[in-house]
Structure 1
Amino acid sequence: MKQHKNRKKVLAWLMMLVGMILILLPIGGRIYTQYEQQKLYAQYQQSLLEREAALETMNETLGSGINIEDTANDTQVIGLVTIPKINVSLLFAEGVTKQALKYAVGHMPGTSMPGEVGNCAIAGHRSYTFGEYFNRLDEVEVGDDIQITMGETTYTYKVYESFLVDPSEVWVTEPVEDRKIVTLITCHPVVKANQRLIVRGEWVPGT
């Protein structure tokens, strides 16, 4: 009789425990979901801050022109950007600082890398004094190729649009979903540089 009562107590305790678990599971799920959402939002905010900071640096760099005293000591070259239409093959560096953009075109931090899903933003000067850079970028048309080589891999993008924006228009560097695009950015016009020329290409599958 005593054993029977003990079994009933254990069974009752187990049923209560199962009930508590069933009650707590949705609560725990909501808490975990909220935690993951907050983490993703924080990552998004951080990415936005990085892109805004990079855009500010890029605008300051493009607006100030090229300083012959700048050195390339901290410049990290990661590849080449080739545009056959205007016959240029440019060093491709990480960052959009004055040092990087004096000797190369630069990858904007916070944007996708070449070959990745998203928006790979690349900035460069227009200069007739120290090098060609993007000085003929306005001649690039829809259907032209942009090739980015990193190591032994070359990514080919097909130009699908070009347009002008104000320097503050950060949306041109925003990420895109389910596409691999490259956004080339340079100052316009060459002397005043009060706008930005944007040339965009989309990755050609298989390249």
Structure 2
Amino acid sequence: MRKAMKWMGTLFIGCGCGLLIWLYAGNAKADNEQQEVIEAFKSIQVTEPLNETAESTSDAHAGNQDVSEVEGILSIPQIDLKAPVLKGADAQTLNRSLGAIEQMDPIGEVGGSYAIAGHQARVFGKFFNRLHEVEVGQELSFETLEKNLTFEVFNIKIVRPHEVDVLKARDGIAMLSLVTCYPAYSNDYRLVVQAKKIEE
């Protein structure tokens, strides 16, 4: 009996160590993939205007990463987030990174509304898992090929999934909304953090 218990204990310890290694390796891989996309995006910025020479330079410096689907880089220093925003917010895209919700206005357009969706709870990668820590008055940035936009958070709401009116444009401001499921590991509500563009 003691021998069996000892064997079971060893087995559980081994499984726990294996799980920790798997989680660490997975997080490192996800972080590396995100960083490669960011670096590829940056290399295109450096070689503007985008032409054949720029494309070849970008490929040489960024490991042949395809950045045609990247709309920009979202940075929120308060929650240690810097991640590429891909076009579209389907399940496949959101498993890879943040995604720009389709059929919205261009980012930074006064009187327009642009929205980014992201998972909150993930095994690998960070995405929006700390979005609930963002507070009104904090600043975030969105970097495109052409410019770097700064936004200030002015509204934080928790809504039902069908309450999409929260994303409607508002007169006089360029609005950016960040949307994720809420609470963690639940699909019952949406946490919506809204910010308006400010002039630097």
Q: TM-score range by the shorter chain?
A: 0.5 to 0.7
1:193, distance to aligned residue in structure 2 (A): 2.2
> Residue 99 of structure 1 aligns to a residue in which SS?
helix
Residue equivalent to 1:200: 194
Is the aligned partner of 1:116 residue 2:118?
Answer: no
Q: Would you say the 8 A contact 1:90–1:104 is kept in 2?
A: yes
Letter in 1 for 2:91: K
Is the aligned partner of 1:169 residue 2:196?
Answer: no
Is the aligned partner of 1:104 residue 2:97?
Answer: yes
> Residue 201 of structure 1 aligns to a residue in which SS?
strand
Letter in 1 for 2:168: E
1:152, distance to aligned residue in structure 2 (A): 4.2
Residue equivalent to 2:48: none
1:130, distance to aligned residue in structure 2 (A): 1.6
CA distance in 1, matches of 2:122, 2:116: 19
Aligned to 1:153, which of 144, 147, 151? 147
Count of residues paired in the alignment: 135
Deviations 1:94-153 (A, max 9, x none): 111112111121111111121112111111101241210000000000111121111141
Is the aligned partner of 1:90 residue 2:83?
Answer: yes
Letter in 2 for 1:96: A
- Cα-Cα RMSD: 2.0
Cα distance, 1:106–1:134 mapped onto 2, change above 3 Å = same
Deviations 1:17-75 (A, max 9, x none): xxxxxxxxxxxxxxxxxxxxxxxxxxxxxxxxxxxxxxxxxxxxxxxxxxxxxxxx998
Residue equivalent to 2:138: 144
> Residue 170 of structure 2 aligns to a residue in which SS?
coil
CA distance in 1, matches of 2:75, 2:96: 15
> Residue 94 of structure 2 aligns to a residue in which SS?
helix
Q: Would you say the 8 A contact 1:115–1:155 is kept in 2?
A: yes
Rg: which structure is higher? 1
CA distance in 1, matches of 2:130, 2:158: 15
Q: Would you say the 8 A contact 1:75–1:99 is kept in 2?
A: no
Q: Would you say the 8 A contact 2:169–2:175 is kept in 1?
A: no
Structure 1 residue ranges, 4+ long, deviating more than 3 angstroms after superposition: none
1:195, distance to aligned residue in structure 2 (A): 0.3
Cα distance, 1:171–1:75 mapped onto 2, change above 3 Å = farther
1:175, distance to aligned residue in structure 2 (A): 2.1
CA distance in 2, matches of 1:122, 1:77: 12
CA distance in 2, matches of 1:106, 1:141: 22
- 5+ residue gaps, structure 2, are 1-65
Using the size of structure 2 for normalisation, the TM-score is 0.63
Is the aligned partner of 1:181 residue 2:175?
Answer: yes
1:176, distance to aligned residue in structure 2 (A): 2.1
Q: Would you say the 8 A contact 1:111–1:173 is kept in 2?
A: no
